[in-house]
Chains A and B, each alone.
Chain A
Amino acid sequence: MVSPLLLAALAACGPAPRTQPAPADGPAPLADLALLSRISLDLRGVRPSAAELDAVAADPAALDTLAADFLYDPRFGERILSIYADIYLTRPESFVVDANGDAAFLDPFTKQAFIRSVGEEPLRLLARIATDDLPYTTVVTADWTIADDALIAAFPLEAIEEGTGWRKARYTDERPAAGILATNGLWWRYTTTLVNANRGRAEMVAKNLLCDNRFDHPVAFGGSGGASFEDRVREDNACIACHATLDPLGAFLYGFFRMHPESYSEATRYYPERETLWDAFSVAPAYYGAPAEALPGLAGLIAADPRFPNCAVEQGFRAVMGRSPGVADTTALTAARAAFLDGGVTLRALYGALVADPRYRSADPDWPGTVGPKRMSPDQLAASIEALTGFRWVYEGLDMLSTDTYGVRVLAGGADGVVVTQPATSHSTSSALVTAWLAEAAARHAVAADLAAAPDERTLFVFAPPNAIPAPAAQRAQLQHLVRLAHGRDLRADDPDLAALAALWDDVNADTGDPDTAWAAVLAGLLRHPDFLHY
């Protein structure tokens, strides 16, 4: 359906980019459509729709309304999942737990899908907390989890919500209520041994829930002087610095201890009788010096710790600003924290505040703290292309941009959570190749689907008739429409980029004699363009 607003705009040969006036005490903001695209990608993982672009083009004041709406888009939960996947790193391609022994996993694709489901369990719980507007403390206090059919079949879980797919469920193995701390998914990813005594798990808790990064700091180790490992942990100052915190924190987690870390059957369950195994190591559970009992005790202390919401603010800041916060960001962090707390400690309140930051919205690269263009993550790329073209690159049920064994996640710039622990912030040869093939396949899919649809049902090719050479005006209007959808940018009729696009269409049509292929080439090019990949 052709938007009347768009027709009006195109008839005027395209307006200059509109930008809200700079506030007196802040930087000039991005052009409205560019800012809309940035907010949409950060909150929903996709570019804005034609209707949303039209609304802001017609009335810039609609931008803030839409930004608020994006927080209530179902894809906000997926975006939170994606953000925390790069924090919790629970989506590896394999676990120490070996699922090969189970007959259900003889098919490698089924097994891979199961591994992905296990890793997503804590992330889905977090996403549900976000979309249900639950307090962030629910992350460590929920007495339920989120599971799909595979997890419900494999783990001692019962669904407590109607429906199919990811839904609320509860463990039936007497594990205490502790949100993500009581999920199999978290502790399959962060495994331990008798000697390690849950220290790696404790580090995960401290680092990812409290942003306590002390364990990354270099430690000045000296010689052992012949002392045993156990003695050094208690007596050597270099060792004590970390172990005095980690070891008592790890002592809370023995209910998830496995005698055989690789055992699938053992790893499905929680073991209440093992909660006191810490006694064997003479290290009692304690939270930064405060004694407590069992997992709910730990969860309660985390939920009451001011570092817990502060850490969520830092993590959110990093996700939307594309950089770590520094001292100069104290005011922004304080404002976001206040909004977070005032908003009921909900992730909607937090992310809504973060995308309102003037430096997030700034177009002035010289303004201190201004956010520069970011490249889409593989998750954003897959979702944005699907939203625009209807094409999702899936193979044997596995999303190609989120798996490495069969797909191209790391090659596309993603993190596998184990060997590659940070997503790429720039491009590589392999990511450019991934984008090229994905764009071509998606463009051909979109052209076939859109041009086959009735004219009033088309969303992409609203000006160009199928399988025909369009008149120059229709070609120009069609190209302007595609650029606006793909890049959030209005091209003027005399813009050299528009002429170059028209030349591309003409060249491909001349080469192939096929207007539809020419449209596919144009769309593929737009999907590979930096204005699509960056925001």
Chain B
Amino acid sequence: MLNRRTLLGSLGATAAALAAPRAARAGAVPPAQRRFLFVHATGGWDTTRVFAPSFGVAGVTMEPEASAREAGGLAWVDHPRRPSVRRFFEDWSSDAVIVNGILLSSVSHASATRLITTGTPDASQADWPSRLGAARAEDHLLPSFVIGGPSFAGRYGVQVGRAGAAGQLQGLCTGDILSDSDLPATPLPAAAAARVDDWLTGATARAASRQAGAAGRALVEDYGVALARGAALRGAVGALDLAGGDTFDAQLALAVRVLGAGLSRCASVAHPDAERITAWDSHTGNDGAQSALFDNLFASLGTLMSTLASTPGPAGGTLADETVVVVFSEMGRTPTVNGMGGRDHWPVTSALLLGAGLRGGQVVGGHGEGLEALDIDVESGAPSTGGTAIVPNVLGATLLALGGVDPRAEGIVDPPISAVLA
């Protein structure tokens, strides 16, 4: 249980680490030290463009000029209009796992987004980044940092920080945000503000002790944690630029900064940007739209992988040694084309896992006729009749296991896909 005393101690260590020289490369880290970067392709991607080589499969229309291709044990769909995808898999297939046949139980954007990020359709439940961040809350100022994309904090609200649509968190740390005011907005002198902070720390503790019920006490204690983190963040921001930007590459750059600085365990970003939330939703003109988006996405992912490999990580090695990249979309698209050259919502999707802790170079799961999701043997990852359906909780259990969190402690009884765990 995170309390103020342990938090303050760890915050001091975190702030000191921001300025400390990096230790020698340490290589792989244990699961509990792994970090996560979640990439949400917003709107529902067409899995037959990259992840599902369903050539010659009944009920699935593949794209003209597309072909099946393999590299390092990984099979994917190649196409001349998506050179960045080919280049990515040629360079990084040994670090990659494709999870095919993730079975959702909704084709509504909102509901499917909740399902794939939390395992339930209930928006009050915490998503995977929040749970993973909360598990190492004492080590991070912003355990789960949302730069773009969906976020469901659930009971871990105090563990989740946000960058803001235009990077406003930076202005909140420096105080520059007050310059955006029609009325004169003048902060207190620094010395007075520090006195208020000190007083508020004690006053909040007294307020917590006055609460008659556990819920009220927890709310006040959360506030105490938020206050302490806010003060520490303001102290640390001089060494770190928290201003992001809504382009995908700017979001990734900020994610790398916060993960590399040890500020966050998880960072979440949205593709193609934080604003166009229906970009992947290609009900018309599917082929052109999806090709452009996939090519753009994989070009940036390739750059990201190189960046992670050359960026020092808080554990002493590189960020690549300790970071799992989770690329997903809330749903897939229909296996056939509609009358307007588009594809509609489909309750089967895929995910791409990259990086630390993975047994890379493999595809787990699969699709049957009509792009249906196949059950798998979680030990081998191969399709297996009567095996386990890859429902969102199976994906979630896998991510939690990668992060050293017991899925059962989080109320998830579905098994992780052990085949992907190194």
Interface of A toward B, CB cutoff 8 Å: 93-94, 96, 193-196, 200, 203, 215-229, 363-366, 370, 372-373, 375, 391-397, 400, 404-408, 410-411, 418-422, 424-434, 436-437, 440-441, 443-445, 496-497, 500-501, 503-504, 507-508, 511-512, 517-518, 520-521, 524-525, 528-531, 533-534
Complex Cα spacing A263 to B72, Å: 47
Confirm or deny: B58 has a beta carbon within 8 angstroms of a beta carbon on chain A: yes
Give the segment of B77-85, B87-95, B201-209, B307-315 that binds chain A: B201-209
Q: How near does chain A come to B317, taking the closest CB pair, in angstroms? A: 28
Interface contact A430-B216, CB-CB below 8 Å: no
Q: Is B239 an interface residue (CB 8 A)?
A: no
Interchain CB contact (< 8 A) of B180 among A395, A428, A440: A395
B222 adjacent to A427 (CB under 8 Å): yes
B266 interfacial by beta-carbon distance below 8 Å = no
> Is the Cβ of B124 less than 8 Å from the Cβ of A428?
no
The reply to whether B162 and A428 contact each other, CB–CB distance below 8 Å, is yes
Q: What residue of chain B has the Cβ atom nearest to residue A203's Cβ?
A: B108
Task: Judge if B372 is at the interface, Cβ distance under 8 Å.
Answer: yes
By the criterion CB–CB under 8 Å, are B278 and A410 in contact?
A: no
Tell me the smallest distance from the CB of B59 to a CB of chain A, in Å.
3
B413 interface contact, C-beta 8 A? no
B105, A219: Cβ atoms closer than 8 Å: yes
B222 & A430 in contact (Cβ 8 Å cutoff): no
User: When the two chains form their complex, are residues B283 and A534 in contact, meaning their CB atoms are under 8 A apart?
Assistant: no
Q: Closest Cβ of chain A: how far from B23's Cβ, in Å? A: 27
When A429-B142, A437-B177, A530-B207 are in contact, do A195 and B161 touch as well, CB less than 8 Å? no
The answer to whether A425 touches B157 (Cβ under 8 A) is yes
Checking A221, A225, A372, A395 against B369 with a beta-carbon cut-off of 8 angstroms, the contacting residue is A225
B277 & A430 in contact (Cβ 8 Å cutoff): no
Can you list 17 residue pairs at the A/B interface with Cβ under 8 Å? A93-B165, A195-B283, A216-B122, A221-B348, A394-B183, A410-B162, A410-B164, A426-B153, A429-B233, A437-B177, A441-B183, A504-B199, A511-B192, A521-B196, A525-B203, A530-B204, A530-B207
Interface contact B226-A365, CB-CB below 8 Å: no
* Cβ of B239 to closest chain A Cβ, rounded Å: 17
Q: Are A405 and B226 neighbours in the complex by a CB distance under 8 Å? A: no
CA distance A113 to B213 in the complex (A): 42
Q: Is the CB of B196 within 8 A of A525?
A: yes
- Structural contact, B227 and A521, CB atoms closer than 8 A: no
CA distance A407 to B165 in the complex (A): 9
Closest to A219 in B: B105
- Measured CB to CB, the closest approach of chain B to A407, in angstroms, equals 8
Q: Which of B123-180 contact A (CB under 8 A)?
A: 123-124, 141-142, 149-153, 155, 157-158, 160-162, 164-166, 168-169, 172-173, 175, 177-178, 180
How many Å lie between the Cα of A425 and that of B165 in the bound state?
Answer: 20
Contacts of B188 in A (CB 8 A): 440, 443-444, 517, 520-521, 524
Is B118 among interface residues, defined by CB-CB distance under 8 A?
A: no
- Nearest chain B CB to A52's CB is how many angstroms away? 23
Q: Which residues of A contact B369 (CB under 8 A)?
A: 223-226
Q: Among the listed A219, A400, A432, A500, which residue makes an inter-chain contact with B226, where contact means beta carbons less than 8 Å apart?
A: A432
> A433–B183 contact, CB under 8 A?
no
Complex interface: chain B residues within 8 A of A508 (CB) = 191-192, 195-196
Whether B203 pairs with A411 at a CB distance below 8 angstroms is no
Please pick, from B183, B212, B371, the residue contacting A363 in the complex, using a CB distance under 8 A.
B212
- The answer on a CB contact under 8 Å between A428 and B161 is yes
Would you call B316 an interface residue if the criterion is a C-beta within 8 Å of the partner chain's C-beta atoms?
no
In the bound assembly, the distance between CA atoms of A370 and B212 in angstroms comes to: 12
Q: A441-B186, A521-B196, A524-B196 are in contact. Are A365 and B216 (CB under 8 A)?
A: yes
Could you say which residues of chain B place their CB within 8 Å of the CB of A501? 199
| A451 CB to nearest B CB, Å | 15
Ranked nearest first, the 5 interchain pairs of A and B with the lowest CB-CB distance are A365-B213, A223-B372, A224-B370, A218-B105, A226-B59
* B258 located at the interface, meaning its Cβ lies under 8 Å from any Cβ of chain A in the complex: no
Is the beta-carbon distance between A411 and B183 smaller than 8 angstroms? no
Q: Are A227 and B166 in contact (CB-based, < 8 A)?
A: no
A440–B186 CA distance with the chains assembled, in angstroms: 7
Are the C-beta atoms of B226 and A220 separated by less than 8 Å?
Answer: no
Q: Which of A217, A436, A511, A525 contacts B191 (CB 8 A)?
A: A511
Tell me the bound Cα distance from A437 to B236 in angstroms: 18
How many B residues touch the partner, as a band? Answer: 35 or more
Q: Which of B58, B107, B182, B186 contacts A395 (CB 8 A)?
A: B182
Set of chain B residues within 8 Å of A425, measured between Cβ atoms = 157
The reply on B422 being an interface residue by CB < 8 A is no
Among the listed B164, B166, B211, B229, which residue makes an inter-chain contact with A432, where contact means beta carbons less than 8 Å apart?
Answer: B229
- Determine if B172 and A525 form an interchain contact, defined as CB atoms under 8 angstroms apart: no
A437-B175 CB under 8 A given contacts A373-B215, A533-B223: yes
Given contacts A220-B105, A445-B183, A228 and B203 within 8 Å (CB-CB): no
In angstroms, Cα B190 to Cα A440, docked, is 11
| A219–B347 alpha-carbon span in the complex (Å) | 9
The answer on a CB contact under 8 Å between B181 and A395 is yes
* Contact A424 B219, CB 8 Å, known A419-B149, A521-B196: no
B300-359 residues at the A interface, CB under 8 angstroms: 334-336, 338, 340, 342, 344, 347-348
Complex Cα spacing A504 to B202, Å: 11
A507 CB contacts on chain B under 8 angstroms: 195
Nearest chain B CB to A282 CB, angstrom units: 14
Name the residue on B nearest A397 (C-beta).
B182
Given A216-B108, A437-B177, A504-B199, 11 extra CB contacts under 8 A: A224-B372, A225-B59, A225-B369, A408-B177, A427-B225, A440-B186, A440-B196, A497-B203, A500-B199, A512-B189, A534-B216
- Which of B106, B274, B371 touches A224 (beta carbons < 8 Å)? B371
Q: Say whether B219 contacts A406, CB under 8 Å.
A: no
CA distance A215 to B106 in the complex (A): 8
Give the complex CA separation of A15 and B344 in angstroms: 67
Q: How far is the CA of A425 from the CA of B213 in the complex (A)?
A: 16
| Chain A residues closer than 8 Å to B415, beta-carbon distance | none
Q: Which of B187, B204, B226, B336 contacts A529 (CB 8 A)?
A: B204
- Name the CB-closest residue of A to B176: A437
Are B206 and A404 neighbours in the complex by a CB distance under 8 Å? no
B183–A406 CB distance below 8 A: no
Cβ–Cβ < 8 Å partners of B213 in chain A: 365-366, 370, 372
Contact A440 B164 (CB under 8 A): no
Smallest Cβ distance from B158 to chain A, in angstroms? 6
CB distance from A442 to the nearest CB of B (A): 8
Q: Is the CB of B185 within 8 A of A441?
A: yes
In Å, the complex CA distance between A38 and B301 comes to: 50
Is B409 interfacial (CB-CB < 8 Å)? no
Interchain CB contact under 8 A, B103 and A193: no
Instruction: Say whether B338 contacts A432, CB under 8 Å.
Output: no
B50 at the binding interface (Cβ < 8 Å)? no
Q: Given the interface contacts A217-B121, A404-B165, does A441 sit within 8 Å of B278 by beta carbon?
A: no
Question: How far, in whole Å, are A405 and B369 apart by their CA atoms in the complex?
Answer: 45
Closest beta carbon of chain A to B373's beta carbon, Å:
8
Minimum CB–CB distance from B44 to chain A (whole Å) comes to 12
Distance in angstroms between the alpha carbons of A227 and B60 in the assembled complex:
10
Q: Is B31 interfacial (CB-CB < 8 Å)?
A: no
Q: Which chain A positions have C-beta within 8 A of B211?
A: 373
